Structure 1
Amino acid sequence: MKFRLMLAIASTLFFSTAQAGEVTVAVAANFIAPMQKIAQAFEQDTGHRAQLAFGATGKFYAQIKNGAPFAVLLAADEATPERLEKEGLTVRGTRFTYATGRLALWSKNANLVDDKGDVLRGSGFNKLAIADPKLAPYGAAAMQVIQHLGVQAKVIPKLVQGESIGQTYQFVSTENAQLGFVALSQISLDGRITQGSAWVVPPSMHTPLKQDAVLLNAGKDNPAAIALLKYLQGDKATTLMRQYGYAL
């Protein structure tokens, strides 16, 4: 009896391993930390492996248009997946909003950023980092906040642009820029700012950072890609997203 039970377990394990697949995922740079953890949990729970590439949503759009073999796109906006859908590069009916991001003004200096962003009106910084508004939705949102506050004349001469929100974070974390508009997920965990000082921008100051996922044509016959999109909507993934400040 024991032997039969062991054989059944071994057969199940072999079948699961044999069925395990791999999915290549283009992931918006703001979503690095939660997605790394989600990918680990996804592999443990399903046996499927997610190969992650991080970058600016605008760059991924260009790469996908040029035939990059990504199976899934996790964008930093709604517009890019919708545009790809209209251009026939996605599997229709698979697009959904997986998270809504938050923008924050951040400094490594624990005393520099106040709780209203008034630091932008002063002279206590030489450089302000933002993501390229043409490539990164978080950069476009940062420009909207600057305009909302009416500080364009003050800060635009001090702007330095990162290709993605990931590079923008690097500018500030290495203190090549005293300030930067980054994703809240890059600097917080469980509702706490992990280092430095920050102002979490009210969502009313910019277009909502709704982030859509979509199955690309390269992934239409890939069970791992389909499983990942389903997994992103499950309790374990959504709990991880909330820990990094995303609304769902």
Structure 2
Amino acid sequence: MRIQQFRAPVIGAFLLLVLTGCDQFTDSRPVQNSAIVEPKVTISVAAASDLKYVLEEIITEFRQAHPEIAVKPTYGSSGSFYSQLLNKAPFDVFLSADVAYPQQLIDQGLAISESLIVYAMGRIVLWVRNDCPVDVEREGIASLRSASIKKIAIANPQHAPYGKAAEAALYHFDIYEEVEDRIVFGENIAQAAQFVESGAADIGIIAVSLTIADALREKGRQWPFPKDSYPPLEQGGVIMSTTQERGACEAFLKFLGSDVCRDILKRYAFSYPGEMTLDGPVAP
């Protein structure tokens, strides 16, 4: 009889301990899962290819500030995106390498006029691989006259703002006709850079933002074009009229003007209207 009286409290205490432990274990799991915020909306961004590396960093920072919004970028030439957007391509935001294409979309009623921003100013440089015998840093534009330069890569000026800038710079230095038969065109500025990196071209006129990225930083040397040798590359962004996620798009474009975003853009040698004063070497 004593044994039964002794066992009952022990068994009760044991069951209480087990049940309490189970409750604590199961309660802790939802707390851990609640820290992971799944995005509620996704916005698709048509982005100029000079943004290929910098935009990935910007998106990472944006997700920290807005975990409920996912950003899906697609890279290409601004002119090609413009043609696609004329045909109602399903993009929410357009980040062009110039401001002209977004403005044209606004003029045609395809983009929201009050959303237009100039988010950065781009730059072009003459870039060669490290194994190139030409001293591009010393010779500058004269490098293009070297007998060892067989092919010169630029983006296609028909639809790439960086290609138009490259062409303008060649005319500025009165060298276009001398080198015209050696020019090879990339579909966009990223492809022009790839031509030089791979050896398909000996030298290229490319976006400085690409040369600063890890993919190219240690692989080549460069000479920056003076800012007055080509039209300003005012890079513009706009929200498309067909978007179903205007609020999320506005949050993203607002973030492009934040101090955090500007610091990232400046690390890739982008500047802002009135700030483009660098003609010398580009800091890594």
> Could you tell me the TM-score, scaled by structure 1's length?
0.89
After TM superposition, the structure 1 stretch with the greater mean CA deviation from structure 2, 81-90 or 102-111, is 102-111
Let me know the Cα RMSD of the aligned residues: 2.3
Query: How many residues of Structure 1 are paired with residues of Structure 2 in the alignment?
Result: 239
Distance 1:17 1:218 in 2: 27
1:1-248 aligned at under 5 Å gives the runs 17=37, 20-47=40-67, 48-109=69-130, 111-112=133-134, 113-115=136-138, 116-188=140-212, 194-219=218-243, 221-248=245-272
Equivalent pair of 2:149/2:203 in contact (CA under 8 Å)? yes
Q: Secondary structure at the match of 2:180?
A: helix
Specify whether residues 162 and 18 from structure 1 end up closer, same or farther in structure 2 by C-alpha distance, changes over 3 A only: closer
* 1:111-157 deviation line (CA, Å, top 9, x unaligned): 52134221012222100001000110000010111111111232101
1:243, distance to aligned residue in structure 2 (A): 0.3
1:109, distance to aligned residue in structure 2 (A): 3.0
Q: Secondary structure at the match of 2:179?
A: helix
Q: Secondary structure at the match of 2:172?
A: helix
Equivalent pair of 2:137/2:222 in contact (CA under 8 Å)? yes
The share of aligned pairs that are identical, in percent, is: 31
Q: Secondary structure at the match of 2:143?
A: helix
Q: Which amino acid aligns with 1:63?
A: Q
Equivalent pair of 1:91/1:220 in contact (CA under 8 Å)? no
| Higher RCO structure (Cα 8 Å, ≥6 apart) | 1
1:221, distance to aligned residue in structure 2 (A): 4.0
- Please list every run of 5 or more consecutive structure 2 residues that lacks an aligned counterpart in the other structure: 1-26, 273-284
1:92, distance to aligned residue in structure 2 (A): 1.7
Show the counterpart of 1:3: none
After TM superposition, the structure 1 stretch with the greater mean CA deviation from structure 2, 121-130 or 170-179, is 121-130
> Could you tell me the TM-score, scaled by structure 2's length?
0.78
Q: Secondary structure at the match of 1:150?
A: coil
Distance 2:202 2:62 in 1: 37
1:19, distance to aligned residue in structure 2 (A): 7.0
Distance 1:220 1:201 in 2: 41
Equivalent pair of 2:39/2:70 in contact (CA under 8 Å)? no
Equivalent pair of 2:77/2:188 in contact (CA under 8 Å)? yes
Distance 2:244 2:234 in 1: 24
- Please list every run of 5 or more consecutive structure 1 residues that lacks an aligned counterpart in the other structure: 1-5
Distance 2:176 2:60 in 1: 42
Q: Which amino acid aligns with 1:54?
A: Y
* 1:72-102 deviation line (CA, Å, top 9, x unaligned): 0000001101100100011121101000000
Equivalent pair of 1:130/1:182 in contact (CA under 8 Å)? yes
Distance 2:171 2:200 in 1: 24
